[in-house]
Structure 1
Amino acid sequence: MKAEYAALVHNQTWTLVPPISQTNILSCRWVFRTKTHVDGSFERRKARLVAKGYHQQFGVDYLDTFSPVVKASTIRLIISLAISHADPSLFILNYNATKIYLLVYVDDIVITTSQSSAISNLIHDLGIIFPVKDLGPLSFFLGIEVDYTPSGLVLSQRKYINSLLARTQMLTTNPMSSPMAASLKLSKHDTPDFDDATIYRSIVGGLQYLSMTRPDMSFSVNKVCQFMHSPKVPHWSAIKCILRYLKATINHGLFFSSNSSLTLQVYSDADWEGCPDDRRSTSGTCIFLGKHLISWSSKKQQTVARSSTEVEYKAIASSAAEVTWLQTVLRELAVPLSQAPTLWCDNLGATYLSANPVYHSKTKHMDIDYHFVRDKVAAHTLKVSFISSKDQIADILTKPLVADKFSHLRTSLKVVDTPLDSRGRIKIHNSESPKSIPKQRDKHTKCINC
């Protein structure tokens, strides 16, 4: 506690001022936490002084909230560039004639560059301004474990899954091969009511955090999120199925190959009228940078679609918006793309509509989506192409699937099994030569805490 308080005073975290009448003054409290290493062994005890923000009232003490932290898709984008492209010209932030990437999430920072000495110099200079702790080569960040292999790296959340299973007393549960039965239809009219809405919301929140590295769970977690206001017993049963699936796939993680290209490929799909309550559809998006899955989404559409073409076109528009943002990020990072992104859709009507300059009367209510996508295609900054339904990777994000198809598409998402040996080291199940990954690559990406 003394060390934490001294650090707050040294960093001039606050300024003392006289109290103002009729103003809500927030008190504070100490939060204590035991921090552990990736393997669960004791690391240290940490104390943190926090304000009781939950005593604030919206519209009285604040109007909006904003957290200046890096997005999950940006983290995966930078990791993709760092693991597969060692060219120094890729790095963007100038520091003593060397360019560096910094990913900032509150008080945790990931630094990557082509020269490990530059990281040491930067950490030293940052330490002059405020206390920092060098955590070494990137191995654990925001609950994400980083395992290096001869052919790339794997992002996983084994430790987090274990804690989630322990909280729900499901460490010894029977495993399942998929997170949701293909025939399951959840509804807000299901009965009876679940008697502990608090634990329901808590576990769903935990499952949402797993989406950082587990795209295969996106649809099922999105589905159970829709009933947090009034959960029913069948909804809790669906959560238990997800947890049983996690038990079976606790060692699965997102794979990033050390050999990849700089091309964006987008897969867009939608399930027409999939919700039995409001007949809205679910859109699914997968975006690959070369071989790496860097962004994905499973989300219910905001309006009811009148046709399968309309629902697919709305999904295309959402996917186009996300890939446009990623293109902007890459331009800011001075990373050139070799060609315009290709967006793959398994609906011929939606594919033709994106390129057809004739605006049909049946699609007048799609005015904004139509012109947004059409302008991108006309400017040659996006190419919309047809793909067969059996090859549509985003199908896993729009509906529950039978186990065999689910497993096949999970592999296409680059979610791989990474079992550990008896010494806690990741096992390698491929024939690629260890020479395929540059030597000392792991020392060029570090994690620090401030």
Structure 2
Amino acid sequence: TALFHPTPKGVPTAPTSEPDLVDETASLPLTRAPTRIKVIGPCHPTLICSNIDQKKILSHSRQAEALLTAADEAPQTFKAAIGGAAKEVWAMAIDKELQSMERLRVWDVVDLDPSYRLVGTTWVFKAKKNHLGEVTEHKACLCAQGFMQTAGVDFEQTYSPTGRLNSLRTLIAYTASNNLLFHQIDVKSAFLNAPLSETVYLSLPQGAPLAWYKRLKQWLVDVGFTACILDPCVFYRGGDHSLWLYVRVDDITIFGKEVEVFKIQIAGEFEIKDIGAADLMLGVKISQDEGCVTLDQQHYTKSPIELYRSAIGSINYLSTATRPDLSFAVSSLSQFLDRPGIKHWQGFLHVLRYLNGTQDLGLTYGGEAQCGISAYSNADWGNCQATRQSITGYLSCFNQCLVIWKTRKQPTVSLSTAEAEYKSVCDLTSELLWLKQWCQESGLTLPNGPIPVHEDNQGCINTANGDSNVNGRRMKHVDIQLHFVKEAVKCRRIQPRYTPSKKMLADFLTKSVPKPVLIHALDSLGVPCLGVRGVLEIRLTNILTAQKVSNKITTRIGYAPQ
């Protein structure tokens, strides 16, 4: 089989060499119970077929790059909306938005006062889709450009709470295990129904500049200018003292010798601000010397570092929402956002190829209704060869459904495996206390007793249980974390339990694991793997410090169905 896509526009060319593919064929029995609700993460549509023309087969790198782009029916600008093939549809959406604003009395039209601080407006277009990816509604929103406001002057508070993914996943798990309904509603024009405590003065929305252009053009024609046919924003007036005008909405650039004469002339018709010699226009820096003008956009140059950051950001949401199998790979690649190299870009493309083969992989919820909360904690001691910082990995299940998981590098160096594991348990304990309080506040039924925390390090467990004779010298410097976990154990909020490493479900969050271990863990956590074609392995090499310390990381990130 072969995957093929049109070559995407705007995607940077990536190296063509590929990491090694390691094949492991062992397997563990899958133990996941029957499912009820399936949550699928975002994916890019693909076309798989056989017996195709060899000329249409793209390289692995091109296939991976194709996944960076997705068809988007929504225009990005007002001009694209009213000038595109679907201009009638978007015109109706714009009209609908304006009618809603008038009906809800969102604004009052007032005369402009010099003391007013005007805030600009912009149109945002969105093609809303259903779960099948079909467009169901074309929506246009008129938005104020809040970046033009000043905190403490134009507004006081902007914070608005948003729901956590942990809460959403817990509610879905509770719904699935109790056979409850699971519906959605959408409040139309929600923001328009809320009155503002501040007075905000908005400039006219896009579309209004047309009236201004007609007014300006009429005056320029009256004083002897002619609009160019090929570019109607360029005006020319011949004669002994020729002048050219470049009009950009309300900004006019004047070219010629008698510039000051025209300034006086236009000031008699419109109120203007004389900026003087042009030095910045449309984001272009202008340097004028006698007989020489230099244009540059140094501040707009997009570096490869920004491209890499954008690429990692595109898959980060997957790893935090529905794809725990990506957590370790994304965490590893995110360590090189400041100074990425070729190997890191190759690693990102490798992740995309894995995603291409596992697009239907997602969380599956359903199980017993009264299992409560359980958790697994793990750490990889001294994982980073440059800093010897350890990796924390933990997860939590509600009614046997995965709702919380985390992979991150520990901020401090640990002196022992037990210390690294203990720091991971401390982070997990904070999450568990929040989850338990949230469930109680939300009215979700929980069994009595402490939350079991599965850990594969005996020294960590003994320290948490208060055995001062174990690892006393190695753990006494972990003061606050030590007492925080001990207090949680003493108050019967959590209960550390020893679990052998072979049964540690959080192992894949901290390190490279063999294929059967990952399959068994994902299947037990409600992320079933239906087929396997190998282990994807990334070897990341980068210069981390000024002393050119070489850091090599090997990351097995997952498997793709056959």
- Measured against the shorter chain, the TM-score band is 0.5 to 0.7
The answer on whether the counterparts of 1:215 and 1:413 sit within 8 Å (CA) in structure 2 is no
Q: Deviations over 1:59-94 (max 9, x none)?
A: 99889974411100100011111111158xxxxxxx
Corresponding residue number in structure 1 for 2:55: none
| Corresponding position of 2:96 | 3
Matched, 1:366 2:366: no
Deviates more, 1:328-337 or 1:21-30: 21-30
Indicate the residue corresponding to 2:463 in structure 1.
Answer: 353
> Which residue of structure 1 aligns with residue 432 of structure 2?
323
User: Which structure features the higher share of helix residues?
Assistant: 1
Correspondence for 1:343 among 443, 447, 453: 453
Please name the residue that 2:163 is paired with. 70
Structure 1 residues 415 and 18: alpha-carbon distance in aligned structure 2, compared to 1, 3 A threshold: farther
Q: CA deviation at 1:31?
A: 1.5
Structure 2 match to 1:434: none
What percentage of aligned pairs have identical amino acids?
A: 30
Corresponding position: 1:28 with 2:121: yes
2:514 aligned partner: 402
Give the secondary-structure state (helix, strand or coil) at the position aligned to 1:278. coil
Give 1:185's aligned residue: none
Q: How many residues align?
A: 326
Cross-structure match for 1:187: none
More deviation, 75-84/225-234: 225-234
Residue 526 of structure 2: which of 408, 414, 417 is its match?
A: 414
Distance in 2, matches of 1:328 and 1:282, equals: 27
Structure 1 counterpart of 2:402, which letter?
Answer: L
Match of 2:390 among 275, 281, 296: 281
Cα 1:261–1:228 shift into 2, 3 Å? same
Q: State the secondary structure of the residue aligned to 2:478.
A: helix
Sort the Cα spacing of 1:257 and 1:378 in 2 relative to 1 into closer, same or farther, 3 A: same
Q: Which residue matches 1:332?
A: 441
* 2:346 matches 1:237: yes
Higher relative contact order (CA 8 A, sep 6+): 1
CA distance in 2, matches of 1:129, 1:58: 24
Aligned to 1:365, what secondary structure does the other structure show?
coil
Correspondence for 1:81 among 169, 174, 181: 174
Q: Take 1:366 and 1:402, find their aligned partners in 2: how far apart are those partners? A: 32
Q: 1:53 and 1:259 mapped to 2: Cα distance? A: 48
The separation in 2 between residues aligned to 1:302 and 1:28, in whole angstroms, is 42
Larger Rg: 2
Deviation (angstroms), 1:34:
2.5
Distance 1:254 1:16, change over 3 A: farther
**Contact map agreement 1:252 1:417 (CA 8 A) in 2:** yes
Q: Following TM superposition, by how much is the alpha carbon of 1:244 offset from its aligned partner in structure 2, in angstroms? A: 0.8
SS at match of 2:124: strand
Q: Judge conservation of contact 2:400–2:525 (CA < 8 Å) in 1.
A: no
**Within 5 A, what are the aligned runs for 1:149-298?**
196-211=304-319, 212-298=321-407
For residues 301-324 of structure 1, give each alpha carbon's deviation from its aligned partner in whole angstroms, at most 9, with x where no partner exists.
111111111110000000000010
Match among 131, 134, 152 for residue 38 of structure 1: 131
The two structures have a TM-score, normalised by structure 2, of 0.52
Given residue 28 of structure 1, which amino acid in structure 2 is its aligned partner? T
Question: The residue matched to 2:528 in structure 1 has which SS?
Answer: strand
For structure 2, the 5+ residue unaligned runs are 1-93, 194-301, 532-562
TM-fit CA distance, 1:282? 1.1
C-alpha distance after superposition, 1:162-203 (max 9, x if no partner): xxxxxxxxxxxxxxxxxxxxxxxxxxxxxxxx9633332222
CA–CA distance in structure 1, aligned partners of residues 492 and 441 of structure 2: 20
Whole-Å separation in 2 of the counterparts to 1:363 and 1:38: 50
Q: Give the direction of change, closer, same or farther, for the CA distance of 1:310–1:131 in structure 2 (3 Å limit).
A: same
Q: 2:191 and 2:151 mapped to 1: Cα distance?
A: 33
Q: Hey, what's the Cα distance between the residues in 2 that align with 1:232 and 1:25?
A: 45
- 1:264/1:340 contact within 8 Å kept: no
CA RMSD of aligned residues (A): 3.5
